[in-house]
Structure 1
Amino acid sequence: MFKTIPFAKGVNLHIRQTTQFKTVNFSIKWRRALTAKSASERTVLTNVLQHSNAKYKTTAAFRSFLDDLYGTVLYFDTSKRGNEHTVLMNVETVNDHYLANTSVLNHVLDLLHTAIFEPNLENGVFKESIVEREKQTVIQRIESIFDDKSRFAQVRLQQILRPNEPASISANGSVEEIRKITPDSLFEAYQSMLADDKIDIYVAGDINEAEIVAKLQQALPFKDRTPEEVPAVLPQQHPDNDYVREQHEMKQGKLHIGFSTAVKFGDPDFAKMQIFNGIFGGYPHAKLFMNVREKESLAYYASSAYASHYGLIFVVSGIEAKNEEKALSLIKEQLVAMQTGTISDLELEQTKAMLTNQLKESLDSARGQIEIFDQYKNLPEEFSVEAWANKWKAVTKEDVVEMAKQVQLEAVYFLYGKEQAAQ
């Protein structure tokens, strides 16, 4: 799918030459171990780099130049996967093939260099006024989760399930750590990111491979590095309190449940566990949706998600507070039904089809191709839709029962309104 070319020690370039798109897409990913401190620093850093640099010292000037490049899109962001934190820079620009007598690509490559290697500094560090402004922006982003009760409930469940571990650390960091950031400490984090992080560079589009490699080596002069190894599995705590109830000013109750499994991303049984989750609550035909929401009308919504890097399965539902016990009992019943083999051929086949179609749809965009390849590239076998479709096809009802039997309930979190408590 992508051809991988060593760029420097600890830095890899992945290229996909394709006529599928009329744009050229770049994605640069800097990776290191996930901690609340590093996530906080790096999220503020992405905001600082996003809005200005040495050539374009205001957001307006920077955005205006991007507009002049036929609406080129450039943005920084942060994410997490397993025990790793990622700073990413994504760029999408028009392909020069579709322009007359203009080379946008060369300007975009210059801009890549500027945005990464020529930040907007004052006395050798980031400008204090910009750092303080972006700290407040990120703090507001984190605190806004309080107003989205579904997201808040999920954050609380993760904190209860795996306290102070990557599973419960936000990719945005924490308010406490963000407040500690200074222009000096942020510049140190920036220098460390450029010099020490593991880096993956992606290019997808109708490009000349040799030409783009040569140009990127000029635009992105990353040096050799020996990135710190991030362990795939860390020692895990288990919740001290396995049933937590909290009150907020709100109407709809949020019942969030955490289950654990020994099967993680890349394990031999990974495909089987994906099928289990799809039948349990991953899709509209799943047991949670059909039985808890549709048949019994106990939930406004009910679904499950498989956090495969942590070996966790989350069930999320919105319910009336008076239905707390009944809804929890019915959710548990769906797992028991699967453990005892109550799985129809239709549920199995629909889940396989949904997983395959989902994967195909994600590959319809260059960004989707980059993200899928980035996720699967470290597995032993080469990635292809056909290979994964065949893995899912091979999963039997007995396999799903086997997966269901080793899923363990770990914690329940219920968030409800104060007026509901009085009922």
Structure 2
Amino acid sequence: MFLTTKLANGVSLHIRQTSQFKTVNFAFKFSRPLTVQDAAERAVLANVLQHSNAKFPKSAAFRSYLDDLYGTVLYFDSAKRGDLLKVLLNIETVNDEYLSKGDVLNKVIDLIKTVIFEPNFENGQFVSSIVEREKEMVKQRIESVFDDKTRYAHQRLSQILRPNHPASISANGTIETVDQITAESLTKAYQTMIDEDQIDIYVVGDVDVEAIKSQLQSALQFSDRDVKKPENPTTELKAEKEYTKETQDMKQGKLHIGYSTPIFFGDEDFPKMQVFNGIFGGYAHSKLFMNVRERESLAYYASSSYSSHYGLIYVVSGIEPSKEKKATEVIAEQLEAMKNGEISDLELAQTRAMLKNNLKEALDLARGQIDIFDQYKDFNEAFSIDTWTKRWDEVTKEDIQKVASQVKLEAIYFLCGKEDSQDANN
């Protein structure tokens, strides 16, 4: 799918030559082990790099130049995947083949070099006023979670399920860690990212592979690095509490439930867990949706997600607070049904079809191709649609029953209105 070239120790270039798109897409992924402090620093760093650099210290001039490059899109972001923290630089630009005067690609590669290696420094470090401004933006992003009760409930459940663990660390850090950032500390974080992070560079488009490889090798002078690997937890992973109820000023109740599974991303049984989650609560035909929401009318919504890097399954539902007990019981019944092998041919067929469709839809986008390859590149085999389609097709009801029997309830978190706290479940 991608042709991979090593640019330096810990730095890889992945190119996919395809006429599928009229644009050329670049993606840079800087990765390091996830910590709260690094998350805060990288979130602010992504914001700072997004808006200015040495050639374009003013955001307006930078955006105007991108517009002149036929609307080239360039943006930074930070995210986490498993126990890794990533700073992402994504670029999408027009292919010169479709222009009467084509020199956009060279200018974009030169701009990539600028935004990575030539930040907007003042006296050898980031500009303090810009750092403070972007710190406020990240803090607002962190605080906004409180206003979105579904996201807040998910965050609280994660903190209860896996305290002081990557599963419960926000990709934005905390208000406290953001507050501690200075222009000097952010400059050090930037230098660490450039010099020490694992770097994966992706190119997708109708390009001359050897030419683009040569251009990027020349423009991107990354040094060798010894990539740091995440440390394995030394303590037993278990939930802080089995049941937690909290109250806020709100109407709808948020019932979130966390389960654990010994099956992780990349394990032999991983495809079986994907099918399990699809039938359990992943899609509109799932047991949670059809029974908790449709048959029993207990929830405004009910679904599950499989966090394969952490071995966790999250069930989320929005309910009337008075229906908490009944909703909890019916959710538990759906898992028990799967443990008993109560899986229909239709549920299995629909889930396989949805998994295949989701994969095909993702691969219809250049960004989707990059993200999928980036996830699966560490497997011992090359990724292909046929391989994964075959694996899902081979999953049997007995396989699903077996993996369901390994799913363990760990924690229930219920968020409701203060006026509902006394009346709930009465």
| Fold shared by both chains (TM-score > 0.5) | yes
- The yes-or-no answer on 1:109 pairing with 2:105 is no
Matches of 1:235 and 1:66, distance apart in 2:
49
* Displacement of 1:231: 4.5
Matches of 1:232 and 1:223, distance apart in 2:
27
Note the alpha carbon deviations across 1:100-145, whole angstroms, 9 max, x for none. 1231001100100111111111111100000000000000000000
In the alignment, which residue of structure 2 is the partner of 1:347? 347
In the alignment, which residue of structure 1 is the partner of 2:290? 290
In the alignment, which residue of structure 2 is the partner of 1:397? 397
Residue 82 of structure 1 contacts residue 232 of structure 1 at CA under 8 Å; is this kept in 2? no
Matches of 1:359 and 1:152, distance apart in 2:
29
In the alignment, which residue of structure 1 is the partner of 2:301? 301
**Structure 1 pair 233–382 and aligned structure 2 pair: CA distance change class (3 A):** farther
Note the alpha carbon deviations across 1:149-188, whole angstroms, 9 max, x for none. 0000000000000011000001111111110001000000
Q: Which moved more, 1:304-313 or 1:238-247?
A: 238-247
In the alignment, which residue of structure 2 is the partner of 1:273? 273
Aligned residue type for 2:167? A
Q: Percent identity?
A: 62
Aligned residue type for 2:155? V
Note the alpha carbon deviations across 1:384-408, whole angstroms, 9 max, x for none. 0110000000000000000110100
In the alignment, which residue of structure 1 is the partner of 2:124? 124
Note the alpha carbon deviations across 1:336-370, whole angstroms, 9 max, x for none. 00001111011011111110111011000100000
Residue 256 of structure 2 contacts residue 412 of structure 2 at CA under 8 Å; is this kept in 1? yes
Matches of 2:235 and 2:33, distance apart in 1:
15
Matches of 1:358 and 1:236, distance apart in 2:
35
Matches of 2:251 and 2:111, distance apart in 1:
48
Residue 126 of structure 1 contacts residue 186 of structure 1 at CA under 8 Å; is this kept in 2? yes
In the alignment, which residue of structure 1 is the partner of 2:256? 256
5+ residue gaps, structure 1: none
In the alignment, which residue of structure 2 is the partner of 1:310? 310
Q: TM-score, normalised by structure 2?
A: 0.98
Residue 196 of structure 2 contacts residue 225 of structure 2 at CA under 8 Å; is this kept in 1? yes
Q: How well do the aligned residues superpose, as a CA RMSD in angstroms?
A: 0.9
In the alignment, which residue of structure 2 is the partner of 1:59? 59
In the alignment, which residue of structure 2 is the partner of 1:190? 190
- The yes-or-no answer on 1:20 pairing with 2:36 is no
In the alignment, which residue of structure 2 is the partner of 1:137? 137
Task: Name the SS for the 1:187 alignment partner.
Answer: helix
Task: Name the SS for the 1:115 alignment partner.
Answer: helix
Residue 162 of structure 2 contacts residue 239 of structure 2 at CA under 8 Å; is this kept in 1? yes
Aligned residue type for 1:271? P
Matches of 1:231 and 1:370, distance apart in 2:
26
In the alignment, which residue of structure 2 is the partner of 1:228? 228
Residue 11 of structure 1 contacts residue 200 of structure 1 at CA under 8 Å; is this kept in 2? yes
- The yes-or-no answer on 1:211 pairing with 2:211 is yes
* Displacement of 1:40: 0.5
* Displacement of 1:218: 1.9
In the alignment, which residue of structure 1 is the partner of 2:370? 370
Task: Name the SS for the 2:372 alignment partner.
Answer: helix
Q: TM-score, normalised by structure 1?
A: 0.99
Aligned residue type for 1:187? T
Residue 73 of structure 1 contacts residue 93 of structure 1 at CA under 8 Å; is this kept in 2? yes
- The yes-or-no answer on 1:336 pairing with 2:336 is yes
Residue 248 of structure 2 contacts residue 415 of structure 2 at CA under 8 Å; is this kept in 1? yes
Matches of 1:168 and 1:303, distance apart in 2:
20
Aligned residue type for 1:411? A
* Displacement of 1:241: 1.2
Segments of 4+ moved more than 6 angstroms: none
Q: Which moved more, 1:63-72 or 1:231-240?
A: 231-240
- The yes-or-no answer on 1:167 pairing with 2:157 is no
Matches of 1:13 and 1:48, distance apart in 2:
25
In the alignment, which residue of structure 1 is the partner of 2:202? 202
Aligned residue type for 1:33? P
Note the alpha carbon deviations across 1:58-116, whole angstroms, 9 max, x for none. 11011000000000000000111111000010000000000012310011001001111
Residue 83 of structure 1 contacts residue 232 of structure 1 at CA under 8 Å; is this kept in 2? no
Matches of 1:234 and 1:391, distance apart in 2:
33
* Displacement of 1:213: 0.7
Matches of 1:152 and 1:351, distance apart in 2:
29
**Structure 1 pair 9–79 and aligned structure 2 pair: CA distance change class (3 A):** same
- The yes-or-no answer on 1:412 pairing with 2:379 is no
Residue 162 of structure 1 contacts residue 236 of structure 1 at CA under 8 Å; is this kept in 2? no
5+ residue gaps, structure 2: none
In the alignment, which residue of structure 2 is the partner of 1:152? 152
Aligned residue type for 1:253? G
